[in-house]
Amino acid sequence: MNQPTACLSETTENTVRNDWSRAEVTQLFDLPFNELLFRAQNVHRAHFDPNAVQISTLLSIKTGGCPEDCSYCPQSVHHDAGLEPERLMDVEAVVSAARAARAAGASRFCMGAAWRNPKGKNFERVLEMVERVRDEGLETCATLGMLDEQQVSALKQAGLDYYNHNLDTSPEFYGEIITTRTWDDRLETLTHVREAGINVCCGGIVGMGEARADRVSMLCELANLPEHPGSVPINRLVRVEGTPLQQQDEIDSIEFVRTLAVARILMPASHVRLSAGRSEMSDEMQALCFFAGANSIFYGEKLLTTGNPDTARDDALFEKLGLHPA
């Protein structure tokens, strides 16, 4: 990753690279804001319709009771966020939610379960959910924690299109946020997913107290994976009461937009998803994010357990900005 690479000036809008140095990524972050957004918009237009946004819906199919200690997450058993654990949802209830999401305009349906790793009959039921949701004509995505090769193979056979497993932050800052699973654990699951031919959905969370150098490092790690993730969710920390990060200072809005713009330049053909934290963003901030190259959102009033703009607000914003579903 730190090997000498081509100068930024040699990188064009159509260049897809997996050899970014941290020095280069730092240079991008340090650009004047207008220059950075200009470059990001040029890259975006070279690969996508600039007014099209991919719509996904995320459903928590098993809420709470997670043994991991992720500092941002209200679903952890280590935190007192007032969340009651729930059992895995019934298959028919999930299919019904998928139909509603499709009717509302979603093209991808994501299923999230608060597990360290899925096991036994619960995993078998998830496989049925994937098959049934795919039969509804939706792309399928799941986030279930760590997976082994056999589980990934079974998900592939069931028809899973995407698997989400975020790096969350930089390898240097990771231990400040999570201690119950290692950085290498995450990379191992991503390797299994990629080698099975399932599309990788992988991003991170910003605003957890990390420095810009950590954002540089995280994006560099993502961009230097053997293949760029098909989807790159960039989450703005939602400060949930009862979690260790509930009092964390909010990340500067311009710095957040910079992070999205750099992600777009580094991973030009990936969908960059403006993910958690949108409820606290103004329309103007979201407009800047779309201009910076974000071209995917979660649609619906909840992201697992945290709030999300309601569909009416998103519809109004899309109309105001002249955006349309991809």
Catalytic residue among 66, 202, 220, 289: 66
Active site residue 289: no
Catalytic residue among 141, 202, 220, 289: 141
Catalytic residue among 73, 202, 220, 289: 73
Active site residue 273: yes
Question: Whole-angstrom Cα distance, residue 230 to residue 31?
Answer: 26
Question: Whole-angstrom Cα distance, residue 258 to residue 176?
Answer: 23
Catalytic residue among 108, 186, 201, 258: 201
Catalytic residue among 39, 108, 125, 273: 273
Query: Residue 144 is which amino acid?
Result: L
Residue 312 is encoded by which pair of tokens?
């009416």
Catalytic residue among 70, 202, 220, 289: 70
What is the total residue count of the chain? 326
Biggest CA-to-CA distance, the chain: 54
Active site residue 202: no
Catalytic residue among 108, 110, 194, 289: 110
Contacts of 131 (CB under 8 A, 6+ apart): 158, 159
Q: Which residues are identified as catalytic?
A: 66, 70, 73, 110, 141, 201, 273
